[in-house]
Amino acid sequence: MPTLHFQVDGGGKLALDVQRLIIAGWTGRDAGAVRHHIRELEAIGVRPPTVVPCFYPLAASLLSTDDVLEVPRDDSSGEIEFVLLQGSAAQGLYIGVGSDHTDRKVEAYDVTVSKQMCGKPVGTGLWRFDEVADHWDALVMRCWRMRDGQRELYQEGAVTSLLDPRELIRRLTGEDALPAGTAMFCGTQAVIGELGHGDAFEVELHDPVRQRTLRHAYRVHSLAVAA
């Protein structure tokens, strides 16, 4: 299991042993928005889910704070997600920002395998969840994609489009807390324009109440794969 090192805003450094990585999918609060995202994926051949939300268990070793992500070919893309990270009982729950980078070609025939194909970037900055819990719905998610030298806004939306993280925790565990050492990506926003590959991605989670922002940026390096 990886040990990742973070900086907690106002709270010093945190070394977290990640034992479990979960990707929560189709987590929209609004059924219409969920159907919109499902149609985005159906357009590239992805079969719709049988139940929502759904939870994909992945290898914890996929989680990375690196600023370069190596992927096979140019068939993958990132997407903004807020990330829950559960420390020990004494440490509590943290919120971060990451990208559920996914192989879109493989996704067309197996969603779980497609998510295992790529590392999962996450930023090194964290907030304590209890510092945003009382104004959670004010937070805003954004993602920019760099392609052919052009930086464009790729996703933008309020967290109100997604299930509250406390509700996701209950749906996953049946309890009010995640097991210690768990990291969970909690859903994304609709894409602005075309879904697809980028040379780099930047993701951010902005808190307008406390006037602070979590950010992470990474470059995508496509490996040469023999035909």
**Which residue is listed with tokens 């790529």?**
118
Q: For the chain, report the end-to-end CA distance as a whole number of angstroms.
A: 33
The CA R_g of the chain, rounded to the nearest whole Å, is 16
Cis peptide leading into 53, omega within 30 of 0? yes
Q: Residue 169's domain is classified under what CATH number?
A: 3.90.850.10
Residue range of the domain that includes 106: 3-223
Q: In whole angstroms, what separates CA 185 from the centre of its chain?
A: 4
Q: What pTM, to 2 d.p., does this model score? A: 0.91
157 CB-contact burial (10 Å; exposed 0-12 / middle 13-18 / buried 19+): middle
For the chain, 227 residues long, give each residue's pLDDT as a single digit of tens: 679 999 999 989 999 999 999 999 889 888 777 777 777 767 767 677 778 899 999 999 999 999 999 998 888 899 999 999 999 988 999 999 999 998 877 777 777 777 778 899 999 999 999 999 999 999 999 999 999 999 999 999 999 999 999 999 999 999 999 999 999 999 999 899 988 899 999 999 999 999 999 999 999 998 877 66
Question: In the chain, how many domains are there?
Answer: 1
Residue pair 162/156 in contact (Cβ under 8 Å)? The answer is no
Residue 128 has a CB neighbour count (10 Å cut-off) of 17
**Which residue is listed with tokens 């894409």?**
191
Q: Which residues contact 167 (CB under 8 A, 6 or more apart)?
A: none
Q: Which residues contact 194 (CB under 8 A, 6 or more apart)?
A: none
Residue 224 has a CB neighbour count (10 Å cut-off) of 6
What local confidence, expressed as pLDDT, does residue 227 receive?
63
What local confidence, expressed as pLDDT, does residue 11 receive?
86
**Which residue is listed with tokens 């049946």?**
174
**Encoding tokens for residue 16?**
């977290």
Q: Which residues contact 119 (CB under 8 A, 6 or more apart)?
A: 62, 63, 64, 66, 69, 70, 71, 101
What local confidence, expressed as pLDDT, does residue 143 receive?
98
Q: Which residues contact 41 (CB under 8 A, 6 or more apart)?
A: 48, 107
What local confidence, expressed as pLDDT, does residue 111 receive?
76
Q: In angstroms, rounded to a whole number, what is the distance separating the alpha carbons of residues 166 and 143?
A: 23
Torsion-angle region of residue 100: left (phi > 0), alpha (psi -120 to 50) or beta?
A: beta
